[in-house]
Amino acid sequence: MQFSERIRAMQSSPIRRLLPFSDEAKKAGKKVYHLNIGQPDIKTPDEYFQAVRNFRVDTIEYATSQGSNDLRDAISDYYKSWDIPYERDDMYITNGGSEALWFIVMTICDVGDELLVPEPFYANYNAFAQASLAKLVPIPTKAEEGFHLPPADVIEKLITPRTRAIWISNPGNPTGAVYTAAELEMLAGIARKHDIYLISDEVYREFTYDGQKFTSLGHMKDVLDRLIMVDSVSKRFSACGARIGCLIIKNREFLAQTLKLCQGRLCVSTLEQVGATGLYRTAKSYLEEVNREYKSRRDTLYRALQEMKGVVCEEPKGAFYVMVKMPVDDAEKFIVWMLQNYDLNGETMMGAPGNGFYATPGQGKSEMRLAYVLKNEDLVRATNILKGALEAYPGRLEAIRA
């Protein structure tokens, strides 16, 4: 029996593939601080639980393939509060932002078609592209420039007859970059000129810090027919397990094509859509409070990293991740070593190896992505462990001793 080329070519998620090592550490009685995955410890708003508790029907029926009207109306209201004119009929509810991304790639790409993505990028973009036999073409960005976009001519040189879209995460996972209005205008101009789509993954929209105002590609009115917006309740409302996301576009033809995929998977959980509708009715003050909490966590983590010799990183401006260059040859080996060999009073920690966030071979090998999703006390413990582990690691580069 055989496996498809497609599945064999796919890489495992760098965020999850080292979990067997953390399971082993836990079996050995150690506590593991998980900074490898964007799973926040923030409480889900009570509105979710109330909505679920109040849901009473005799039969749990299939929902419509497009998603429930109540939820889509709630999302439409939410977008209008951001001054983005999305209506119920512009969107489909999906199983997380993940399914939305998957459906988008399947809708616009044939085998070998290309998607331009600023690199480093959210590792699962590789999975969605590889599963569809599409190709991610990296737009190079630099840590020392805060992972901001290169000028238009650099991006345009990457465009070929096979390019289907420019795909961004804004605010960025794993970079923490928040694109400026000028950068987004530039992307909109390129997309119009070359007649390609824009995919804007804005699942971290509320998480920008230092008073920075968030601009969405949804604010660029002249690209709304080619802009595919991706969203989710996972991070916004700390409801990752609800698996509710959506894709939105003001383009009926696109929606008619994607509907085939939505119908193929029938629908999204009826009950979770009820819970998510409750979430979108949560008071704005919840999001403001959560933003303050993440900013404080960002500060805690960034301060601790700056104090570690040989560790290099830029201050992230949004989302809740930071890409860190470690004074080691191979961050993956270091993470495994730490889980197997290092603990501080019975506690250890875990990051995600950076290479999985790149498409360019060899890039990100000495990098690690850390998620500041744990409360400050835990972040302090986790960074103390990281500091100690780096000092004890036999494979560390000389830089740490300098």
Ligand X SMILES: Cc1ncc(COP(=O)(O)O)c(C=O)c1O
Shortest distance (Å) from residue 149 CB to ligand X:
16
Q: Is the dihedral of CA 324, 330, 333, 334 positive or negative?
A: negative
User: Which of residues 100 and 338 has its CB atom nearest to ligand X in the complex?
Assistant: 100
Identity (one letter) of the amino acid at 360?
T
Shortest distance (Å) from residue 57 CB to ligand X:
26
Nearest in space to 74 (alpha carbons), one of 283, 289, 279, 233: 279
Nearest in space to 202 (alpha carbons), one of 161, 146, 246, 163: 246
Q: Which positions from 362 to 401 touch ligand X by CB under 6 A, shown as an x/- string?
A: ----------------------------------------
Tell me, what DSSP letter sits at residue 202? -
CA 294-300-306 angle, 5° bins: 130
CA-to-CA separations, 344 to 225, 353, 383, in angstroms, rounded: 54, 21, 11
User: Which of residues 128 and 342 has its CB atom nearest to ligand X in the complex?
Assistant: 128
Shortest distance (Å) from residue 234 CB to ligand X:
3
Shortest distance (Å) from residue 130 CB to ligand X:
16
Give the span between the Cα atoms of 239 and 276, in whole angstroms: 9
Q: Which positions from 201 to 240 touch ligand X by CB under 6 A, shown as an x/- string?
A: x-x----------------------------x-x-----x
User: Which of residues 166 and 308 has its CB atom nearest to ligand X in the complex?
Assistant: 166
Residues from 70 through 109 that contact ligand X (CB under 6 A): 96-98
Under the criterion CB under 6 A, does residue 245 sit at the interface with ligand X? yes
User: Which of residues 237 and 393 has its CB atom nearest to ligand X in the complex?
Assistant: 237
Nearest in space to 236 (alpha carbons), one of 151, 160, 294, 149: 294
Shortest distance (Å) from residue 17 CB to ligand X:
15
Tell me, what DSSP letter sits at residue 170? S
Shortest distance (Å) from residue 80 CB to ligand X:
22
Tokens of 199: 């995919």
Out of 36, 130, 163, 169, the only residue in the binding site for ligand X (CB under 6 A) is 169
The residue count for binding ligand X (CB under 6 A) is 13
Q: Read off φ and ψ for residue 235, nearest 5 degrees.
A: -95, -45
Helix (H, G, I), strand (E, B) or coil at 358: coil
Q: Which positions from 184 to 203 touch ligand X by CB under 6 A, shown as an x/- string?
A: -----------------x-x
Shortest distance (Å) from residue 103 CB to ligand X:
12
Helix axes 46-53, 270-280, angle to 10 degrees: 140
The beta strands (E) that lie in 181-255 are given as 197-201, 227-232, 244-248
Q: Which positions from 4 to 43 touch ligand X by CB under 6 A, shown as an x/- string?
A: ----------------------------------x-----
Give the 3-state secondary structure percentages of the chain, helix then strand then coil, rounded to 5: 45, 15, 40
Nearest residue to ligand X by CB is 96
Binding site for ligand X (CB under 6 A): 38, 96-98, 122, 169, 173, 201, 203, 232, 234, 240, 245
